[in-house]
Chains A and B, each alone.
Chain A
Amino acid sequence: MDSISSDAARDGSICDEAIVLSVTSALAKDALSYFQSGKFHECIDILIQLNHKKRNDPKVLHNIAIAEYFKNACSNSKKLLEDLNTVKKQSEEFAKEPLEAVNPGSNVSVSKHQFDSTITTLNIAVTWFHLHQYAKCLSILDPLFLNIEPLDETIALQICFLMLDSALACHDAVKFLEVFGHLDKSFGVGFGTHEEIGSTMQLSSNQVSKTSSLLSSSAASDALKSDLAAAESGLCEEGLEYDNVLAEIEAEKRMKPVGHIPANNLLKTIGERSILTVDVKLELQLYKVRFLLLTRNVKLAKREVKHAMNIAQKRDSSMALLLKSQLEYAHGNHRKAIKLLLVSGIQKELRTSGIFNNNLGCIYYQLGKYQAASVLFSKALRNCSSLRKDNPVKLFSLSQDKSLLITYNCGVLYLACGKPLLAAQCFQKASLVFCRQPLLWLRIAECCILALQKGLLEEGNTSSDRSEIRVHVIGKGKWRQLMMEENGFVELGGSAQWPKLSLPLARVCLSNSMYLLNVSLMNDYSKSDLESPLSVMINETKEASWSDHGDADTNSELKEAKGGMNQDIIQNSLSAYKDIRRRENHLLKQALLANMAYVELELENPIKALSAANSLLQLPDCSKIYVFLGHIYAAEALCLLNRPGEAGAHLSAYLLGQEDFKLPFAQEDFDPWRMNMSSDCEETSDCSTGNARDSLKPEEARGALFANLAALFATQGHYDQARPFIQHALALLPSNVQATITAVYIDLMVGRSEDAVARLKQCTRVSFVPGRLEVRAS
């Protein structure tokens, strides 16, 4: 290398541009080969030389940043981002300079080329993707996608796949479809017309033949058989408990085929456009299935996954099997899902064993086997952390690290098991990824409320904590750049300590959740209404071609089976998904308002509670359960505000005649509620049992109405009216503390102190202690 550069120096006198060019391009080639063989020190040395020759060439600086990152074992993503952003800014500034004026004509596009920041932008997005900032990744890639036609196919593919994965992670079906439509147009139909892609096909089919020969080897097929047997036996036996799972997994390990496919030596493939080796067609088909799964179009997904299996038959079918398993899981066929998951063989690779355990954990959760699920999730987490430790230099240790997602699952599980503190810890960790999801915040608030019910909250919700103005902003996310807004999103978590669970925290979480929900609703609204004329035009042409497509597809079955995405069906499933999302958001909003009202009541803030309850009651098409909660919270808040008349109106909405209440909602109301959520779930019984135990029962709700109306009468001095109601209430809720106290109060007020004492003696939840009487908290 030195010789070349000294040559260049010696020939300096006759050095014309061409020679410089050839020297630098030779250096560039060397740098690339060092980079590909993982010799980052040498690579950087050459890049520094290049940088001396071509001052501030953004591309050199870019490659230096990349090489530095690998040299440091991919440890400093922050620095990489800073460097890349600097490079990007620089290239953009160079590109802005009026080059056309200086050298008109042919040179323009040459210079433009030099300052093209596409690769830099892509790498920034890749880095954010590995940091789980999917929305950010999407927004960075968006401008590239808008102008994707001129880009080289390899880069374009990389951008599109990255966008597809990010869109899936964000549940952004619209964005997904936009990108997928483009890919389908460029590669789905006209596939193989370009030389480049043709050779790719060749390459991947080579690999594939290797794989398939491996798969057909006897060891592998034996393993498959035993997997199946294990799955069958595991399921047929009575207990699906953890031991069985463990045994299955152990059997897996023993049967591990000797010659399993080694993961590509990643260092070798650095810099090569390894994505080219992916079979684009299969990939697209798999993405199609994932889209259908996202939009919960189970029927169509079933058909498409079959097609994917066909394509994948001679190749690596593990992904297709995994999707099939997910499909069965979504469908509620948990036995089948377990079987397919085992067959997919992803448990055999270190890289994916965590994923296997997590997915199995999900299935066991749905089966109501919380114990087994919890063991599986923690096993999955261990897999992830061992992956982190074992391969510090491995490029994408970050991206393969799914531990934050698994942690979220743990949170859901712990919450279901009634362990709010553990659950909250999980959710708080997972907030690095999910901090933009309203549901996460609701879950944390639920942890607070559950902790309150269980008496796990620390005392000291002093009045200063309760004030709304002093909301602490804790910590700044190491990576996130969340905008702080007044009355908007309160940033919690990140690297800093989370506050302990408390009601004020619940309040903050609920308002964060509501804020995010409103933002997303607003975005949906504006997206559908405000479209730039350009995109309208493009849409028009697109639609035109789509509709043509549709017309030709009268016997669509056949064509679809051949992989053409029938746009009508896709659009239908997209709009169906939008409906589902709208319903879910609506339900989420009801839940948020109900929780808000409850928390405000607990915090002794009836005005806020009343306004939350009123907003809840004003929502159209509210679930009967939330309507009931809205009435009862509003009534209590009104009592606390000394407005008994209005409070009574809320309660008497449920009056039947003079002295009876109807059931405010029926047990079935939980079912359509759930059916709304999962209209495609066949085995609803499984998931409903998980939730039913901690939900409010209709009879209890009726009892609460009796007791509360009695309390209301009592405070107004109408003891005679109050008494029959409290009798009803106690008949329905014999050991309810509040109802008992109200009854005692009424007894004392009408002078029946003996009755009161007798009542206290009867109530199972009262204990007489020497010197002090205590009523156990509900």
Chain B
Amino acid sequence: MTIMKMEETAIVWTLLQSDLRPIQDVLAEFNSKFTRSRYFPVCSSLSILLQDPMILRSTDRLIAFAIMHQCYSSVKPSLNPFVSEMINAACNEQAEKYERAFLLHLFQWNSYNNAKEIFKLSAADYIKTFDPSTNDFPELGELQREYGNKADGPSSHMFADYALKKLLHDPDVPRGCDPNSPEFDVQVQPGGISKIGSGDRNEAISGILGSLTMGGLAPRWIRPCPPRYPVHQSELLWIDPDNKHELVWDDKMCADTSRGATVRDLLVKGLKVTLSPTEQEDITTALSNDPKLVYHCGITPRKLPQLVEHNPQIAVEILTKLINSPEIVDYFTALVSMEMSLHSMEVVNRLTTAVELPKEFIRMFITNCISSCENAKQQDKYMQNRLVRLVCVFLQSLIRNNIIDVKDLFIEVQAFCIDFSRVREAAGLFRLLKTLE
């Protein structure tokens, strides 16, 4: 991307060559032709041209500096992005004195405060009328202190910085080698030097202006491209025909919803009274005929304790079938937290032989049994003894059937046996524990 457009190049080039017009006219025309946003590109191009003392004629150079000054005259000199170029030029001892004086006028350095007057002259006239005896030129440092900017120039990082500035200062760089453009570089090197001073200059300058790019010639970094992420064979999609997943018609629509109604009714009854053997038989058959019926039979965890009390066999039947249900935990919880009784123990005991119960649950149940026995103390000695016997028999059965691992509960059960050692069954259980030790 070049900095300036073709027509801009033409305008700038014409302006630079207006050595016979008063400088202020030239500046006015510049202002009318360029908007503020184009100042920077134009000045960058000019500063590149100015770096080489040979390319531009002396009058052109003066006008170029004037434009660079004018563009940023509304701000402090130190904010002018090209101030360092101008300072360097003003202190360049190899440069013509009139040029250095001109720049100092632009800076309004000490007694150089004649810029307005000078601008009324044409560039050619200024040179003609310049008094060559002037000798009061400041040191570089003085000007830098006064106007210099410590901030970075237009470039933003070190590659760019070095590209522009180093080339500017280095006297060893062959003349005509413009560092700001690789294109320019070689274009001028073979042709530029030898042909300078002839008609080629115009062509070269407009060529330079036309093909200048913003970037400079800088050391280039090799930026390897990341390799393509490897294609694993599983990334390519091997397709299997899938099952036909079809939309399903809901055939429960207006269907007979009496499924299992008898069982449900019987079970409602079973919450209150013990069912007759035939009724129990009916329920068992219905449940085994329809494996999913158990989920629709109306026995909720809340109702379970009632069923256990009145119809423990049916409760066992239902719990066995519900063992895969996600709600089985709730049923177990209900069983654990109900009041201990012969029936609840019977249910648990039979469950242990029918299905595999979670260890946690059995453990909790036993703990509950034991604490029930202890709590019964306050109430009724007879009831307590009865309960203790039941628990002991229950535990012996569990141990004999290898349902529980005695080690898990050893201390708890042992304490229980000692507490109730007066009960015969407790002593028996204690002996059983000892034999297992």
Contact = CB atoms under 8 A, between A and B. Distances in A.
B253 A674 contact: no
A425 interface: no
Interface residues of A, number: 167
A707 B235 CA distance: 37
A214 to B, nearest CB: 18
Contact of A113 (B157, B239, B244, B296): B296
A355 to B, nearest CB: 5
A640 B157 contact: yes
Interface stretch (A116-124, A220-228, A488-496): A116-124
Nearest to A606: B157
A402 B239 contact: yes
Interface string B155-166: 011110110001
Interface in B261-292: 261, 264-265, 268, 291-292
A757 B329 CA distance: 87
Interface in B317-339: 322, 324-326, 329
Interface string A691-706: 1001110001101100
Interface in A104-129: 105-106, 108-110, 113-114, 116, 119-120, 122-123, 126-127, 129
B223 A632 contact: yes
B245 A130 contact: yes
A44 B230 CA distance: 54
A517 B111 CA distance: 70
A775 B251 CA distance: 76
**Among B166, B190, B231, residue most surrounded by chain A Cβ atoms (within 10 Å):** B231
A251 interface: no
B222 A738 contact: yes
Contacts of A415: 228
A441 to B, nearest CB: 11
B199 interface: no
A274 interface: yes
Interface string B29-61: 000000000000000000000000000000000
A773 B249 contact: no
The B interface is mostly helix, strand or loop, or mixed, namely: loop
Interface in A552-587: 584, 587
Interface of B: 156-159, 161-162, 166-167, 170, 172-174, 177, 179, 182-183, 185-187, 189-190, 207, 211, 217-259, 261, 264-265, 268, 291-292, 295-298, 322, 324-326, 329, 356, 358, 360
Contact of B218 (A642, A710, A745): A745
Complex A-B, nearest 3 residue pairs according to Cβ-Cβ distance, in ascending order: A150-B295, A711-B219, A751-B172
Nearest to A263: B244
Contacts of A741: 182, 217, 219-220
A119 B237 contact: no
A126 B166 contact: no
Contact of B257 (A114, A700, A707, A742): A114
Nearest to A584: B232
21 contacts: A28-B253, A28-B254, A57-B254, A126-B245, A126-B246, A194-B291, A270-B246, A271-B248, A322-B241, A362-B233, A399-B244, A540-B360, A642-B161, A690-B231, A707-B221, A715-B158, A739-B220, A741-B217, A748-B167, A749-B170, A773-B182
A408 interface: yes
A162 B326 contact: no
A439 B224 CA distance: 22
A278 interface: yes
Given A415-B228, A640-B159, A771-B207, A534 B329 contact: yes
A66 B325 CA distance: 31
Interface in A400-422: 400, 402, 405-406, 408-409, 412, 415-416
B8 to A, nearest CB: 18
B271 to A, nearest CB: 10
A152 B221 contact: no
A538 interface: yes
A156 B414 CA distance: 48
Contact of B255 (A25, A290, A591, A641): A25
Contacts of A116: 252
B61 to A, nearest CB: 24
B185 A446 contact: no
A760 B227 contact: no
A677 B232 contact: yes
Given A453-B225, A538-B326, A711-B220, A359 B239 contact: yes
Interface string A329-370: 110100000000000001000011001001100100110000
A395 B246 contact: yes
A768 interface: yes
Nearest to A31: B253
Given A366-B236, A707-B221, A710-B219, 18 more contacts: A32-B251, A60-B253, A129-B245, A155-B248, A165-B243, A271-B249, A319-B240, A395-B247, A400-B241, A545-B356, A639-B221, A640-B158, A642-B158, A687-B231, A703-B222, A707-B222, A742-B220, A750-B172
Interface in A705-756: 707-708, 710-712, 714-715, 717, 722, 733, 736-739, 741-742, 744-746, 748-751, 753
A161 B162 contact: no
A637 to B, nearest CB: 10
B173 A751 contact: yes
B185 to A, nearest CB: 7
Nearest to A195: B289
Interface stretch (A303-311, A468-476, A593-601): A593-601
Interface string A602-617: 1000100000000000
A489 B257 CA distance: 48
B371 to A, nearest CB: 23
Nearest to A413: B236
Nearest to B256: A25
A50 interface: yes
Interface in A268-286: 269-271, 273-275, 278, 283
B196 to A, nearest CB: 16
Given A366-B233, A636-B221, A639-B157, A270 B249 contact: yes
